[in-house]
Structure 1
């Protein structure tokens, strides 16, 4: 493939943009290709190269790059009526009503502008509601670029330090990080700090660290501990919201009801968005109804609200989830078969329309009875004892090989995957059986 124009654009970008990009994950070796346009499930770069796209904007593009006619019409209508108003609109009420009808835990919402802003607001709300300061997070979980959760464990496994320069140690002092899927660890933390903990903040499925499913009963343990100690359980469904579990989101699939949920990506139909939803008793503590300050110039932007509302309506009225989940199952099962033959130590992960291959280093003794379409932490699976249970297990995989070798090989074969081992990949409504077959052929060659 020729990438001359992308290289030239990157050289220009380096002189005016920090690192040549506007989001760290867009950087890749030796330089990123620059997108020109999307076409269904495909992306065309500045040099005219065409790829099957599984990045899908890092999750928001449930339909791919071609929006259904009702979504496009709503976007055009609201854009033509004016950029924005600084006043409430009917469309934001309609989107909120739709979400509260379908997501089990959500009685009330506050729309914001990004997933990061949603989790920042949720943490502030939890602290304001409970009058406590400490937040429990999962090691390797990702909740946006915010000071309270950009932390890493120190020598004391539960004492955290900032994971980025520019964050004072005092922020990390109030954040406790525990390993995902470790019931003993989180129980010990609550035993020592229970009366100080405002909330547990977790993704239902770790989606930014290779996709890690919860073991059976883990979320129930979190729910019980929060109830026992008067803390809030906050699910970060920025990635999983309206992708895993359909319109009920991952919490519906797992049968767990959090106190608060953060949303982003799909809820805005491909436009910048975030939201905090949950029990009305808690959400009403946001100003002006309560005293926890939250505000934003572009919150509830009418074009975003229209795109989100029509996206979710279209998904509810058509076979969107049946289609994307079936293709996701087919893709993961196919990759699993390829790995079994060519790289038996690797673990295929994901559910519904999310997928990834973790370059784990240890193969099981037997293969019969494996999870057929992605690791679900099933105890009877031969791989159960060696499949990733937390971020440390993912980090111990051959993560450098993904970016240095595998991602490059797949890109040259016209398959665009996320550039590192950790980010999730996504199937869209625009993907086809032919796309899956082409992808599996590329996997065989690249592995």
Structure 2
């Protein structure tokens, strides 16, 4: 397998793009990133013509893989042919909004934007405006887009920006707490509850090694928000329309958030984001309310067509049965391989998301109760050592994954996530053969 063309392109890219990329995580693969030439179903072909089983799937938006179903492709082509963008509303935006509000339990009204980051930025602004408060609670190690209010680390007593360029005066309004720690959440509300505008939380921390919620944790956050008059904001940018099917993760976990942010699948692989929720809150966006929110490309016809037709196709076919079944096969197969080859590691994931977390556990392998991915089950022998929150990913064998394991998988024709933080995603285009080939590669290289 040669990578000469990729290396040449990367050499050129380093001269004109910071780090040679347009999104930081793309530069993570060692010794340099592959450059994609085209996709083909559940596979991708790089600039050198090498073909791989692709579990990155665009970092999550590709429910159907790289080949969209014919109705989706036709709808996108039709919209593009009619004009790229209008600066005017279209009926398609209304149809997409109607579909989402019919299927997602908490969403009564929705505003489409251009990215998951834009969605969470707008959600924070909305929560502050609705409550007339300043502080937001976030989960340590979580990710809610490249925005000032959530690029914060530390704890509730000592928050600080996690990147240069954000003033400490911004970070002081953000209260980081550990995911899955109900007592920490209660403590921060007891101290700051009267000034907490909202809580931002992923149903499953899926951008930091995949941490499943401990039983009762989300109910605790919901109860605290109700008691103190704060907004519960669920970040379903990753989990939306992937975990829990058309009802999203909130239907899987039976939680009724005030506001939900979306991205990725809701746009069918095109740039998109959305903020949905209770009418009393979402209608406070301009022009019906006083919370400013706008965007030239919001509700872009191509993204609306891809998102709506993609979700309609899922509603009429066995899409979720297929991807969730393959996800289960991968996790169960990986659990067997890990128990034999690397018992200190932990298999995580749910529905069509999976990963092997390179944990350093001094504990027995996962029990059968967690063979389909860690479920934070106290009865599991691995419970005390399994990843509980996003910050746990930093203590994993990140260098071994990046420098040894992932390059070996790549050379074996299997692409897995760029680092120990990102998840792997199953698409409708993946097959049982892809699963078996991938399990063989894990068995060989773990």
- TM-score normalised by L of structure 1: 0.98
CA contact (8 A) 1:158 1:178 kept: no
2:308 maps to: 309
Could you tell me how far apart the structure 1 residues matched to 2:256 and 2:367 are? 35
Please report how far the alpha carbon of residue 158 of structure 1 lies from its aligned counterpart in structure 2 after TM superposition. 3.6
Partner of 1:246: 245
Contact 2:244 2:250 in 1 (8 A): yes
Aligned-partner Cα distance in 1 for 2:34–2:359? 28
Runs of 5+ consecutive residues of structure 2 not aligned to the other structure: none
- The residue that corresponds to 1:57 in the other structure is 58
Aligned match of 1:92: 93
Q: Write the mapping of 1:117-136 to structure 2, written as runs, cut at 5 A.
A: 117-136=118-137
TM-score normalised to structure 2 length = 0.99
SS at match of 1:43: strand
- In the alignment, what sits opposite 1:402? 401
Query: How many angstroms does 1:157 deviate by?
Result: 5.3
> Residues 358-397 of structure 1: matches in 2 within 5 Å?
358-365=357-364, 368-397=367-396
Give the CA deviation at 1:393: 2.3
Residue 5 (structure 1) aligns with: 5
Is the aligned partner of 1:107 residue 2:86? Answer: no
Matched with 1:159 is 158
- What is the aligned partner in structure 2 of residue 83 from structure 1? 84
For 1:59 and 1:368, locate their aligned partners in 2 and report how far apart those are by CA, in whole Å.
Answer: 28
**Stretch deviating more after TM superposition (27-36 or 338-347):** 27-36
Aligned equivalents of 2:129, 2:318: Cα separation in 1: 41
Return the alpha-carbon distance in structure 2 between the equivalents of residues 366 and 17 of structure 1: 44
Partner of 1:427: 426
Task: Tell me, in whole angstroms, the C-alpha distance in 1 between the residues paired with 2:367 and 2:143.
Answer: 34
- In 2, the alpha carbon distance for the partners of 1:394 and 1:35 equals 27
C-alpha deviations, 1:160-217, integer Å up to 9, x for none? 1001111111110100000000011110000000000000001010011000001000
Find the aligned partners of 1:436 and 1:369 in 2 and give their Cα distance. Answer: 20
C-alpha distance in 2 between matches for 1:366 and 1:208: 24
Summarize deviations over 1:334-384 as a string: whole Å, max 9, x none: 011000001001000000000011111114246543412100111211111
Encode CA deviations 1:112-138: one digit per residue, 9 max, x unaligned: 000000000000000011100000000
Q: State the alpha-carbon separation in 2 of the partners of residues 366 and 5 from structure 1.
A: 42
Q: What's the secondary structure of 1:52's corresponding residue?
A: strand
Deviation at 1:390, TM superposition (A): 1.2
* Partners of 2:272 and 2:303 within 8 A in 1: yes
Per the alignment, in what secondary structure is the counterpart of residue 383 of structure 2? coil
Query: Following the alignment from structure 1 to structure 2, what is the Cα–Cα distance between the partners of residues 254 and 205?
Result: 10
Q: Report matched runs for 1:15-414 at 5 Å.
A: 15-27=15-27, 28-153=29-154, 158-365=157-364, 368-414=367-413
Give the distance between the partners of 1:261 and 1:315, measured in 2 at CA: 21
Could you tell me how far apart the structure 1 residues matched to 2:83 and 2:223 are? 48
**CA shift in 2, pair 1:131/1:11, >3 Å:** same
Please state whether the residue corresponding to 2:360 is helix, strand or coil.
coil
Q: Which moved more, 1:379-388 or 1:76-85?
A: 379-388
Secondary structure of 1:406 counterpart = helix
What's the C-alpha RMSD, in Å, of the aligned pairs? 0.9
Cα deviation for residue 272 of structure 1 reads: 0.1
Runs of at least 5 residues in structure 1 that lack an aligned partner in the other structure: none
CA distance in 2, matches of 1:170, 1:300: 34
After superposition, give the CA deviation of every residue in 1:395-416 in whole Å (9 maximum; x if it has no partner).
2111111111111110010000
SS of corresponding position for 2:203: coil
Distance 1:61 1:49 in 2: 21
